[in-house]
Structure 1
Amino acid sequence: MSQRRYELTDFEWSVIEPLLPNKPRGVPRVDDRKVLNGIYWRLRTGSPWADIPERYGPATTCYNRFVRWRKLGIWDRIFEAVSAAYDGDLQSVDSSSIKVHQHASNVRRPKRGTPKPPAWHDPAPSAWGVREAD
């Protein structure tokens, strides 16, 4: 498999591979590295699971492993191991993961506290044409 942009490097794979669950019995598994690259492709593009390219294996396999590994806490271990391998130097936040609506960029927030009545407002009953009780 040729190295494509945004796919796991050999170094990253060497860090991640020991953390993955091992299922020795039953039907042989689809290559974990291909499936991981498929999961990363889906998360990066935001496409539906069914649109994962065939080179990453069946889309249902990618989805099932993603959900199963989330329940087992494997994603947390992978993230911690890769972060530790890069000594915490590699962090990335871009506009594809954090978006603000265009109308929210210049919104002025109202001041907190009780609102003051307008200057023309007089709370006295005589101002409203109400006679006071005798």
Structure 2
Amino acid sequence: MAKRYELPYTPWDLVADIFTQTRRTWRLRVDDRLMLNGVLWVLCSGAAWRDMPERFGPWLTVYQRFRDWRNCGAFDQMLKLLHIRLNEQGLIDLETWMIDSTAVRATRAS
């Protein structure tokens, strides 16, 4: 069972090709799913990278993987893929539009 901020295996199977890359290094590559779960934990919890639980591995490794994925556009590719998939399944309502705004009253002195 996945914990609160962890990606279950079924959604991971949809996006695994985007986040798994083969590199020729002398080191073993840390599990990409574990790294993505660490990134999701930081982004969803709002905590600092250094405060990430140890079960995701070293925070610096997770942060470096996040930067690599951000720089190569992996998150954009994932969102496009999921958007297409949800649209094909009819789960996106294209009839409803919502706009979020904030209204601030201006004073006479402004």
TM-score for the superposition, normalised by structure 2: 0.74
Aligned pair in 2 of structure 1 residues 84, 7: CA closer, same or farther (>3 Å)? farther
Unpaired runs of at least 5, structure 1: 91-97, 112-134
CA RMSD after TM alignment = 2.6
Aligned pair in 2 of structure 1 residues 59, 110: CA closer, same or farther (>3 Å)? same
Aligned to 1:57: 57
More helix by share: 2
Aligned to 1:70: 70
Which runs of structure 1 show a deviation greater than 2 angstroms over 4 or more consecutive aligned residues?
82-90
How many residues are paired up?
A: 98
Aligned to 2:91: 89
TM-score for the superposition, normalised by structure 1: 0.62
Letter in 2 for 1:33: R
The answer to which structure, 1 or 2, has the higher relative contact order (CA under 8 A, 6+ apart) is 2
Unpaired runs of at least 5, structure 2: 93-99
Cα displacement string for residues 75-101 of structure 1 (whole angstroms, at most 9, x for unaligned residues): 1001111222333737xxxxxxx9x9x
- Once residues 53 and 89 of structure 1 are traced to their aligned partners in structure 2, the CA distance between those partners, rounded to angstroms, is 34
- Once residues 46 and 6 of structure 1 are traced to their aligned partners in structure 2, the CA distance between those partners, rounded to angstroms, is 12
Q: Which deviates more from structure 2 when the two are superposed, residues 60-69 or residues 80-89? A: 80-89
After superposition, residues 1-134 of structure 1 pair within 5 angstroms as 2-26=1-25, 27-87=27-87, 89=91, 107-109=104-106
Q: Percent identity?
A: 36
Of the two, which has the highest radius of gyration? Answer: 1
